[in-house]
């Protein structure tokens, strides 16, 4: 029997899976509320959950609704996250405030990972990690994803870090924070929209079973105080020349309009979606589906 945490509300499906020690995959909700346009966001959320189920695991989409932390959402709750206009974007530092004030919020990587661990879930699928922003040596703009993952025992499947970031600096921070990092069937660190960010990975794995063995070794060696990142490149990347052109114009526009802090990422992603005529959106959807499938395979392999 899982121990019930009074601040968490489990869906019946997730509760039953955890109670029976069956594989569960945590899914973030920010991509639903802030990452994809309506009505595609709800359609993709449903498809992602279906992908996890088809692979033999239980999906646990995480969000805060009217001050209640939900570990696993019903279809009507998915609709609320996708369609309501009062859904904030919450990192881990915002969670207690949202709960105490009865607000609703979609959870970022940092918040989702924190709540997943609190709920007893150890595998998490997302799109791309946050990291060190360009110009951070002056702005000190660094995602809370990094510090959160430095203190959580969770395996995160992602398409590397968003290409709008300072990828090299982010990799340095991952090393400093002792966050494990492996490439899935690649030694090239992916850059979200791109299969290769230009940086090389030290470790490669070729199956979910290998990752399950690494997870077990981390526990035995007590190096599981920080997360394990599985970098899974998108199958069909965005056109590189177009990507670089859109990124440059987006960064210039953000600077001109004074966009700073956590507003930068959604601003640039929206700029990509609007300017690429749907190509970046296609890649974004492919990423979350592929990562969810791999995360489910890892959860199933680990459960064995």
Say if residues 247 and 296 touch (Cβ distance below 8 Å): no
89 is catalytic: no
Alpha-carbon dihedral of residues 100, 147, 250, 255, nearest 10 degrees? 80
Say if residues 99 and 133 touch (Cβ distance below 8 Å): no
Q: Which of 45, 40, 31 is nearest to 266 (CA)?
A: 31
Q: How far is CA 115 from the centre of its chain?
A: 13
Catalytic residue from among 28, 49, 142, 237 = 28
Q: Which helix (H) or strand (E) holds 136?
A: helix 136-139
Helix 279-303 to helix 208-221 angle (10° resolution) is 60
| Strand pairing report for 123-125 and 155-158 | parallel
Say if residues 126 and 31 touch (Cβ distance below 8 Å): yes
CA–CA separation, 110 vs 107, rounded Å?
A: 8
Catalytic residue from among 49, 142, 162, 279 = 162
| E-state strands within the chain | 8-10, 24-27, 58-65, 68-71, 87-90, 104-107, 123-125, 155-158, 180-184, 188-191, 194-200, 204-205, 228-231
22 is catalytic: no
Say if residues 159 and 109 touch (Cβ distance below 8 Å): no
- Prior bond to 249 cis, omega within 30? no
CA–CA separation, 22 vs 47, rounded Å?
A: 21
Which residue shows structure tokens 């004030």? 101
Q: DSSP letter at 69?
A: E
| Strand pairing report for 180-184 and 155-158 | unpaired
Which residues have a catalytic role annotated?
28, 162
């Amino acid at each position: 029997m899982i121990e019930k945490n009074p601040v968490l509300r489990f869906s019946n499906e997730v509760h039953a899976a955890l109670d029976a020690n069956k594989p569960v995959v945590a899914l973030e909700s920010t991509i639903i509320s802030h990452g994809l346009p309506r009505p595609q966001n709800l359609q993709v959320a449903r498809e992602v959950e279906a992908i996890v189920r088809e692979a033999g695991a239980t999906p646990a989409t995480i969000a805060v609704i009217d001050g209640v932390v939900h570990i696993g959402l019903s279809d009507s709750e998915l609709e609320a996250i996708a369609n309501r206009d009062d859904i904030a974007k919450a990192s881990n530092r915002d969670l207690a405030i949202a709960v105490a004030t009865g607000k609703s919020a979609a959870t970022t990587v940092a918040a989702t990972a924190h709540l997943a661990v609190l709920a007893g879930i150890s595998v998490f699928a997302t799109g791309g990690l946050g990291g060190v922003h360009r110009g951070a040596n002056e702005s000190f703009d660094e995602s809370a994803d990094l510090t959160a993952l430095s203190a959580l025992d969770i395996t995160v499947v992602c398409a590397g870090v968003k290409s709008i970031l300072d990828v090299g600096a982010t990799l340095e921070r991952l090393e400093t924070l002792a966050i494990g990092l492996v490439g899935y069937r690649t030694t090239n660190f992916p850059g979200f929209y791109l299969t290769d960010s230009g940086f090389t990975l030290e470790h490669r794995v070729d199956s979910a079973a290998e990752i399950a063995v690494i997870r077990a070794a981390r526990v035995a060696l007590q190096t599981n105080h920080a997360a394990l990142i599985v970098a899974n490149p998108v199958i069909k990347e965005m056109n590189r020349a177009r990507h670089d052109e859109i990124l440059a114009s987006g960064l210039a526009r953000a600077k001109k309009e004074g966009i700073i802090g956590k507003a930068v990422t959604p601003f640039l992603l929206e700029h990509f979606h609007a300017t690429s005529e749907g190509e970046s959106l296609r890649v974004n959807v492919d990423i979350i589906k592929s990562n969810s499938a791999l995360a489910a395979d890892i959860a199933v392999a680990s459960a064995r």
